[in-house]
Structure 1
Amino acid sequence: MAAAAPAVAQPSGAALYQRNCAACHGAERQGTGLGPPLSTQAYRYGGTRRDLSRIIRNGIDSQGMPAFGGILSAEEIDAVAAFLPARESAQAPETDDAEAEAPPRVFDPVPGVVDTLDYALRAEVFADGLQTVWAIAFVDADTALVSERPGRLRIVRNGVLQPQPVAGTPEVYVHTHRWNQGGLLDVAIDPRHAENGWIYLSYSHRLDRTGPEGDPLAMTRVVRGRIRDNAWVDQQVVFEADPSAYGEPFWHYGGRMAFDAQGRLYFSVGDRGAQELAREPGRPTGKVHRLLPDGAVPADNPLRGRDGALASIYSFGHRNPQGLAIEPSSGRPWSTEHGPRGGDELNIVERGGDYGWPVVSHGINYDGTILTPHTRADGVKQPVYYWRPSIGVSGLTFYRGTEFPLWDGKLLVTALAPRELRLLTLDGDRVQHEEILFRSQGRPYEPVVGPDGAIYLVTDDPAQILRLTAQEERRQ
């Protein structure tokens, strides 16, 4: 009689979680920018074992969570649910004091001095007392503007955060979901600001109506205005999409802006959850756009005059570019772009370039399934560099300044997932070396080089601006 086949060991719930869930919810279930923490206090859609199995199986489409019912067996789904903390009933757990508040979060102090290959970096807090910051821009050597995603524009003058936000800035749309990506996003200073006073804001703008899921329809918008007596005045709309382009998802607004040496404004718009439209020339989403400062279209924009195309489009096929910078030596725009599960990208943004999303990608779906079999295709631009697994790449800037002369012309990028500032050394159009410079307590959204040559790092949770300077040069 033939011997019975040995039983095949089933993966544990912990292993299944790490393979399928950790990319969004964190290896320790602590949450990331892609998904909330998994704890009995954080659950919003029920927290019993039965609830957890149902959610894993069916997903929550309105919140961007995929269904795993077609990927995992019923036994595997139950194993993952058993691995997660659960409530004993559908009710929230009782406490000794029903009104007791959660204790305030305590953050480690700024680490002081951090060693890198070239320098000993000194880190200090430049500004705090902020809320969910996204960007900083220097008006001059003494004045910086800081955007807070809830809709406030703050002024830091001579190193002191002014107590009152700028009055009268545009109303922004902020979804109630914990991982909402909208709000007041970037702030940029007109290259001729000393003459004209213009300041540019990007933000999530809503229509006065809702979509099929009952959420407001929203889209990335760009305006400019001036600040006079701490008030936002003279506002003009620079970019506003047709109402048909507005959507309900609370993610993928893009929103980063950059001026080139000719004074042209580049800005990114994410795919807004409609990835199939990212390569459509008549749709504004999934694109990098280029306009003149007043919103007019440059004469040499690639799609200008083409029937059915948006003349503002400079490149297309992007997922969610949150970094945009102009290379000082060449004048070329570069971007960093969030991939799905894997496949974050660094791109040189070429005029009329097709970057392939979602037909070409170095990532996969969040549920582990194949997004596309293609990492290359005819006519599609390849990234200069990509990260797999994803690092949550966000902002970038080229270093130019006197504080770190050994880094002149190198790229600084921020990584949301590991909370890192990284330095990329370039050899032409190739990344030659990548170094982790600094790990922050908050998620770093953007690195900016100040007029003094110091690096200013925008972080949230805690929401603050860090200032990095060179205490000592390590090598000559």
Structure 2
Amino acid sequence: MNRIIYILFSCMLISCHAQDKSNNILLQNEIVSYTFETIADGILIPWGMVFLPDGSLLVTEKSGQLLHIKNKIKTEIKNVPSVYNRGQGGLLDIVLHPNYIQNGWIYITYASTEGDGEGGNTKLIRAKLENESLTQIEYLYKCSPNTTKGQHFGSRIVFDNQGYLYFSVGERGEHFVNPQDISRDNGKIYRLNDDGSIPRDNPFVGQANTKEAIYSYGVRNPQGLAKNPITGAIWEHEHGPQGGDEINIIKKGTNYGWPIVTYGLNYDSTIISTKQEIKGVENPLYQWTPSIAPCGMAFVTSNLYPNWKGHLLVGSLKFQYLELVKLRGTEIIGRQKIATDIGRMRNVIEGPDGYIYIAVEGKGILKIIPN
């Protein structure tokens, strides 16, 4: 009798929450203890966000606009390079140099038509902002060749504690060609010096027929990249196909397996790989099945959100919520829905004022204010 009651209780519990079948971690709803303040509205697809030292905000819009938001007023920045606005490509991420106050450098990734072949591919530049215009634009890296395919450009940018720049690029839909081949761009995490030169200790420097900017490889479509504020490690998340979104900790020269190992299926439910792990491939720290379509990620360090501090925030495009991924060191111990039914969430960052800001398609930039 007791066993029957336990089974009934378990079924009731599972029916109240969505469950990740492969990880067996329940996704719980949070009791709402916050409100939203609109910082900028009417932005169709906001992608990258970064705060300037004066507290104003730069936001990239995928179609090619770079917006400067100050006191809730939007000003379009001039002299932004033209972008290849196709599918998932366009104007993508934006970050400041760690010593921005001294040198003024801003780093941007976007889909560019420059280079060989029709279509476009992901490009990294840096520039300075003067009188609401980009100046001193410098080319740093351009993936090649171009392709007219519209998927998997990536892209996120982050600096580590040593001042190296990392940026992510998807495999452009060529999953049996690019991600496992270190002589080709795409499906990679790159590491550069801040001027675009290649660090001498990058893992493939000096090897024949390799892209020496590659730091790790075997990724599908990485749209989350963040520095762990405690360890300094670079964390990444990426879209799987139908299932198998992943969280990884980026390590030098490491293969993350796509597509030779995956927890996901093709969108027509056919098998991509029969293996979920093999020797020589790094297992994900965590994987979502079913897929949530993760986009944007941020570690919470602010005291304004005591229940979130020390954990990870990830946006969900598919289910239109913000997810709190609860951590114990590098172990994922829980999941919680934040800001449910808010819309397709493209990014999340913690501002210098300690508040969390989210970028939502069609709505713009919202500030989460705890009650």
Same fold (TM over 0.5): yes
The number of residue pairs the alignment matches comes to 342
Q: Give the SS at the match of 2:76.
A: coil
Specify the alignment match of 1:122 in structure 2. 35
Matched, 1:322 2:223: yes
Cα separation, 2, equivalents of 1:208 and 1:308: 19
**Which residues of 2 match residues 308-387 of structure 1 at below 5 A?**
308-387=209-288
Cα separation, 2, equivalents of 1:128 and 1:268: 28
TM-superposed deviation, 1:372: 0.7
Structure with the higher fraction of residues in strand conformation: 2
Matched, 1:224 2:138: no
| 2:164 pairs with one of 232, 242, 264 | 264
Specify the alignment match of 2:99 in structure 1. 192
Specify the alignment match of 1:249 in structure 2. 149
Higher relative contact order (CA 8 A, sep 6+): 2
Give the fraction of aligned pairs with identical amino acids, expressed as a percent.
36
Cα separation, 1, equivalents of 2:310 and 2:193: 26
Q: Give the SS at the match of 1:315.
A: strand
Structure whose alpha-carbon radius of gyration is higher: 1
Q: Which runs of 5+ in 2 are unaligned?
A: 1-28
Q: Give the SS at the match of 2:339.
A: strand
| 1:428 pairs with one of 298, 320, 329 | 329
* Residues 252 and 320 in structure 1, CA contact (< 8 A), matched pair in contact too: yes
TM-score (norm 2): 0.89
**Which residues of 2 match residues 93-132 of structure 1 at below 5 A?**
116=30, 120-132=33-45
* Residues 141 and 452 in structure 1, CA contact (< 8 A), matched pair in contact too: no
Specify the alignment match of 2:52 in structure 1. 139
* Residues 169 and 189 in structure 2, CA contact (< 8 A), matched pair in contact too: yes
Specify the alignment match of 1:468 in structure 2. 368
Give RMSD over aligned pairs.
1.5
* Residues 391 and 416 in structure 1, CA contact (< 8 A), matched pair in contact too: yes
Specify the alignment match of 2:85 in structure 1. 174
TM-superposed deviation, 1:455: 0.6
Q: Give the SS at the match of 1:275.
A: coil
Cα separation, 1, equivalents of 2:48 and 2:336: 23
* Residues 334 and 346 in structure 1, CA contact (< 8 A), matched pair in contact too: yes
* Residues 251 and 272 in structure 1, CA contact (< 8 A), matched pair in contact too: yes
TM-superposed deviation, 1:241: 2.7
Q: Give the SS at the match of 1:321.
A: strand
Specify the alignment match of 1:59 in structure 2. none
* Residues 141 and 451 in structure 1, CA contact (< 8 A), matched pair in contact too: no
* Residues 321 and 342 in structure 2, CA contact (< 8 A), matched pair in contact too: no
Cα separation, 2, equivalents of 1:272 and 1:343: 18
Matched, 1:439 2:340: yes
Specify the alignment match of 2:320 in structure 1. 419
Specify the alignment match of 1:206 in structure 2. 113
Match of 1:389, as an amino acid? P
TM-score (norm 1): 0.70
Cα separation, 1, equivalents of 2:54 and 2:325: 27
Distance 1:380 1:139, change over 3 A: same
Q: Give the SS at the match of 2:120.
A: strand
C-alpha distance after superposition, 1:10-50 (max 9, x if no partner): xxxxxxxxxxxxxxxxxxxxxxxxxxxxxxxxxxxxxxxxx
Match of 1:270, as an amino acid? G
Cα separation, 2, equivalents of 1:422 and 1:137: 21
Cα separation, 2, equivalents of 1:324 and 1:361: 20
Structure with the higher fraction of residues in helix conformation: 1
TM-superposed deviation, 1:208: 7.6
Match of 1:333, as an amino acid? I
| 2:72 pairs with one of 160, 184, 196 | 160
Match of 1:357, as an amino acid? W
C-alpha distance after superposition, 1:162-206 (max 9, x if no partner): 3x311101110112xxxx101100111111110111111100001
Matched, 1:457 2:358: yes
Cα separation, 2, equivalents of 1:412 and 1:140: 23
Q: Give the SS at the match of 2:256.
A: coil
